Amino acid sequence: MPEDNETAQLQALIQAANAQWTAGTTSVSVLPADQQLRRLGYRGGGPDPETLEQRSQISASRAAGVAATAVGIPTAYDWRNVGGSNYVTPVRDQGACGSCVSFGTTATVEAKMRIQRNNPGLAVDLSEASLFFCIGPGSGASCSNGWYMTPAMDGYKNTGVPDEPCFPYTDHQQSCAQCSDWQGRATKITGWHTIGSVADMKTWLSSQGPLATCFTVYNDFFSYKGGVYRHVTGAVAGGHCVSVIGYDDAAGCWICKNSWGVGWGEAGFFRIAYGQCGIDSTMWAAESIDETGWLNGVNVIGLWAIDQDRNAWVYLSGYGWRKIAPDNDNIFFDLLRLLAAAKEGKRPVNVFQKSAVITQVYVL
C-alpha cells in the first residue's frame, strides 16, 4: 500500500541526511502518539548507572572510536546465526504497557539458557508478566511508569522467573497472579554486572551471549523498517530497553531484538549505529543460568574422568556436562555408578542439580 505523506517526508529526510535506513508503515507507526508512548518503559537514572541524557552523552562522545575492535574479537557476530544455529527466542510483543525492561532482560536470559545448554532448539519461554507484575511493583514498576534495569536483574538473581504458562502476559496493569508452584519452576541467574567499555561488550557478545541495553527513542524510530538506524528527526519519545544479540563492524551497528512484535522493523529486530541514542553507554550481562532443580527423564550419553580426586562429570542429552557431587568417596562413587549404569542400559534418569552439580539420581 502507498506510504502516507508523513512517512514519505521522513524518508526524504533520511535520504537527505544520507542515513542508511528506510522508514515505512509499521505496526507501531500506525498507532496514535499516546499508544506509541505506552510501548516504551525505561526510566533511566534511579538505581541504574546513568540517566537517559547521560547515556546519550557518553555514547555520542565516543562514537568515533566505537568502530575499533580490540584484537582477537570477531568483527561481526549474530546469535541468530552461529554456525547455522539460532539461539534467539522468538520476537515478543509488550503491547500497550511500559514493560520493556522485562522483555529486554527476559530475551537476554532466554538466549543465555539456550547457549549455556548448547541447545539452540531448547523450548524456553519465561514469564515477562511474573517479572514485571510480581517482582516489579516492589521497586515501582507499572505499565504507565516503566521500570529500571537494576531491580529487574536483581529479580532474576534473587527471586527467579517462572515459565510463561505460569503467568501468561497480557498488556495491561494487573496484580501478581502467577501459578502457586512458581518457585519450583523459576529460572534464576547466578549473577549480573554492567559493562561500560565497547570492547568488553563485543567480547561478551561474541563469546557469552546477548546483553540487555536501553536507549532514547525518538519519534522517527517508530517508522523504522530496515537498515542501520540513526536518529534523523523527531522529538524524544522516551526510554526503551531491548536485547543486543550481535554487532557488525562493517555496517557499524549493534543488532537488537525489540519487543514490538514482528510487524515492526526487520521482522521485529533492528540495527542501530554505534554511538546512537545512548545505546552503548552501559549494557547489562546475565552471567549464567543457575542450574538448580530437577531434570526429569534425561539421558546420560557421555562420561568424563581425570586423574584428580572425585572429579567426574556426565553429559546429559539436551543439557550438557554436569559435575558429580564430590562430597566424599561413597557419595561420589554411588552417583557415578548409577549414572554410568543408566548410560549402559540406555535408561532415563531424574537428577537433582544444585548449581549444575548432580546431588541426587533416580535411574528409572
Partner 1 sequence: MIGPTELPPTSALAAAAAGGVAATTWVTGKTVNALWSINENRNSWIGVSGVGWVKLANNSDSAIVALTMLGADAKLTGGQVSYRQESDNMIHEMYVW
Residue 32 vs 83, nearer CB to partner 1: 83
- Which grid coordinates are listed for 315? 553429559
Find the catalytic residue in 100, 143, 166, 241. Answer: 100
Q: Quote the least distance from Cβ 226 to partner 1, whole Å.
A: 31
Residue type (1 letter), 18: N
Find the catalytic residue in 97, 240, 256, 277. Answer: 240
Q: Quote the least distance from Cβ 87 to partner 1, whole Å.
A: 15
The contacts of residue 50 (CB under 8 Å, 6+ apart) are: 44, 58, 278, 281, 282
CB 74 within 8 A of CB 206: yes
The reply to whether 100 belongs to the active site is yes
CB 114 within 8 A of CB 124: yes
Q: Quote the least distance from Cβ 78 to partner 1, whole Å.
A: 18
Residue type (1 letter), 281: S
**E strand segments, 151-210:** 188-189, 192-195
Instruction: Report the relative pairing of strands 349-354 and 357-363 from DSSP bridges.
Output: antiparallel
Q: Quote the least distance from Cβ 345 to partner 1, whole Å.
A: 9
The reply to whether 240 belongs to the active site is yes
Residue 34 vs 309, nearer CB to partner 1: 309
Residue 232 vs 356, nearer CB to partner 1: 356
The reply to whether 253 belongs to the active site is no
Find the catalytic residue in 97, 166, 241, 258. Answer: 258
CB 275 within 8 A of CB 105: no
Block residue for cell numbers 557518553: 58
How many other β-carbons are positioned within 10 Å of the β-carbon of residue 62?
15
Which residues here bind partner 1, judged by CB under 8 A?
83, 118, 301-313, 315, 317, 321, 323, 329, 332-333, 336-337, 340, 343-344
Q: Quote the least distance from Cβ 74 to partner 1, whole Å.
A: 17
Residue 46 vs 354, nearer CB to partner 1: 354
- Which grid coordinates are listed for 191? 549473577
Q: How many residues does the chain have?
A: 364
Residue 169 vs 313, nearer CB to partner 1: 313
Give the residue numbers annotated as catalytic, written as ranges.
Answer: 100, 240, 258
